Amino acid sequence: MNKLGKIIVGLSGGVDSSVATLMLLEQGYDVEALFMKNWDEDDKDGHCTAEQDLSDAQKVADKLGVKLHSINFSADYWEDVFEHFLQEHKKGRTPNPDVLCNQKIKFKVFLEHALSLGADKIATGHYARITHDNNSYQLRTGLDNNKDQSYFLHLLNQQQLSKSLFPLGEISKTEVRALAKKHDLITADKKDSTGICFIGERNFSQFLQTYLPKQQGDIVNEHGKFIKYHQGLAFYTIGQRKGLEIGGGFSDSPEPWFVADKRIDSNELLVVQGDHPLLYHNTLSTSNLHWIDTQPNFPLACQAKIRYRQASQDCKIIQDNDQVKVIFTQPQRAITPGQSVVFYHEDICLGGAIIEQRTNE
């Protein structure tokens, strides 16, 4: 029996999970891999590349000499992630399916399945780190600041962290590509996947319109002046610029237009030009608060991110009945209800919550 234990890696057919598999083998673990298919919709436009990804995963597994399992979690993904994704958009909010996908699929059903196959732990190609001290596990940022993915992992709990490994947390994307090339892995130059978790990169508005009905309403400026019609608040997000198709003739200013608010009651989309004050707020309220370890005492001075790859922002968290408010030192641009606010103390991810409302206080 391997003293280091048996690890099953989530092998997606991309370069990150390929190199994670390679690194674990080099570290001496007993390694197997698992390919997850989580989207079963008919895809005639080539947005989902599951067939190609499985082929690439198999080639990597063969090259490295590891057994590849394959399983379909599409029913779990639809029920636990995609239905919530659609319901949030129906309400005019902007959810983050990658966050829920990690909590419900990769670190729940995949973890449970891997343990049933005899694994001691699972591993993924996420750029994050796990440390352990004082009987608790800490989720830390990846050392490659440009690729750190702790934001998407903030809903993990102690049990999930105790059963997980992130081999790429200590290295950079450049090093990952170099290792893949050195070992002649087919994924060495493969483009990184983007778009919705497991669904792929698409024209987002068109994709949503296949599932949600159009609800035409007015696009208005800050003075309430009608500009044009929109097809449904669900198809827009706060801070959005592309896709508004507001050309010249609506203002004397040449500055671009941005979505500043979605007025659910009146079905109006409020747009403003340039770096407008209506895009900025210093306070947000939350729901679904989650702490990776024990809940801290309030008020809490820490840092927070309201979107992936944002620089950490100084803030104070205060108790607000059974939820919390986050008050930022500097006003934040395009705080978006439905998205996640994630809390940090230096390089330790503390947890996070769902953004409900934004205000200026």
Mean pLDDT across the chain = 91
Q: Which of 48, 101, 302, 349 is catalytic?
A: 101
The whole-model pTM stands at: 0.92
Q: Is residue 199 in some structural domain?
A: no
Give yes or no: 315 in active site.
Answer: no
Report the CATH number that the domain containing residue 123 is assigned in CATH: 3.40.50.620
Domain boundary residue, one of 224, 252, 274: 274
Question: How many domains, the chain?
Answer: 3
Sheet architecture: strand order including 6-10: 68-72, 30-37, 6-10, 121-123, 164-165
Instruction: Please check whether residues 66 and 137 belong to one and the same domain.
Output: yes
Query: DSSP assignment of 56-104, as one string?
Result: HHHHHHHHHT--EEEEE-HHHHIIIIIHHHHHHHHTT----HHHHHIII
Q: Is residue 26 in some structural domain?
A: yes
Pairing assessment for the beta strands 30-37 and 6-10 based on DSSP bridges: parallel
Report the CATH number that the domain containing residue 332 is assigned in CATH: 2.40.30.10
Instruction: Please check whether residues 76 and 218 belong to one and the same domain.
Output: no
Give yes or no: 349 in active site.
Answer: no
**How many helices (H) does the chain have, and how many strands (E)?**
9, 17
Q: Which amino acid is at 175?
A: E
Instruction: Please check whether residues 173 and 296 belong to one and the same domain.
Output: no
Instruction: Please check whether residues 37 and 82 belong to one and the same domain.
Output: yes
Exposure on the CB side of residue 249, measured as CA atoms within 13 A? 6
Comparing 15-24, 151-160, 195-204, 313-322, the range with the smallest average pLDDT is 195-204
Pairing assessment for the beta strands 280-291 and 348-359 based on DSSP bridges: antiparallel
Q: Is residue 201 in some structural domain?
A: no
Q: Report CA torsion sign: 242, 194, 137, 115.
A: positive
Q: Is residue 335 in some structural domain?
A: yes
Instruction: Please check whether residues 29 and 157 belong to one and the same domain.
Output: yes
pLDDT tens per residue across span 40-53: 655 544 455 778 88
246: closest CA among 206, 266, 274, 223? Answer: 274
Region 151-174 average pLDDT = 98
Instruction: Please check whether residues 82 and 137 belong to one and the same domain.
Output: yes
Would you call 24 helix, strand, or coil by DSSP?
Answer: helix
Q: Is residue 203 in some structural domain?
A: no
Q: What pLDDT is attached to residue 254?
A: 87
Please state the three-class secondary structure of 132-184 as a single string: EECCEEEEEECCCCCCCCHHHHCCCCHHHHHCEECHHHHCCHHHHHHHHHHCC
Instruction: Please check whether residues 260 and 325 belong to one and the same domain.
Output: no
Q: Which of 197, 302, 315, 349 is catalytic?
A: 197
Report the CATH number that the domain containing residue 225 is assigned in CATH: 2.30.30.280
Domain around 57: 6-182
